[in-house]
Homo-oligomer: A and B are copies of this chain.
Amino acid sequence: MAVFNPNLLMAEALAQARLALAHGEVPIGAVLANPNGEIIARAHNLVEAQHNPLQHAEMLCLHAALAHMNDKFLLGCTLAVTLEPCPMCMAALSHARVARVVFGAYDPKSGGTVNGPRVANFMHHQPEILGGIEEAPCAALLTDFFKTLRT
């Protein structure tokens, strides 16, 4: 079994976030690794491209990984995402029984993981949470993006 390296996973999630930026999406990226640490899904937000506010990076990773595993649950898997998951995504991660959620920047306004409703506390399965991994580059991407939008 591969050694679990949250920074390595976050580097891959950051690459996805930069891709999002290049496509005019809010720069948030995610990857999902199987219990051996191999990445089985990569995604970035597709909210603008698909005119669909549910197409967050985490949801797209979950759907891709579930199809890949052909199982109802992602036991032992880790999701890494550049921004704290919103309540929808955090609840979806619990439903899919992901073992661990690693995130970069904190989201006091719209997060639902360690901020806001902290939804996993109310759910059957509670993934382990690791926040603030590569926080500075993850946050900088978002800050720069919204600064550009406003000017």
Q: Which residues of A contact B (CB under 8 A)?
A: 47-48, 51-54, 59, 62-63, 66-67, 70-73, 86-88, 90-92, 95-97, 110, 112, 116-119, 121-124
Copies of this chain, complex-wide, total: 2
The reply to whether A87 and B119 contact each other, CB–CB distance below 8 Å, is yes
Main secondary structure of the interface of A (DSSP, over half): loop
Question: Do A66 and B54 contact each other (CB < 8 Å), given the known contacts A110-B124, A112-B122, A117-B122?
Answer: yes
Residue of B nearest to A56 (CB): B95
Nearest-CB residue, chain B, relative to A96: B53
Complex Cα spacing A122 to B119, Å: 11
**Taking A117-B117, A118-B117 as contacts, is the C-beta distance between A87 and B54 under 8 angstroms?**
no
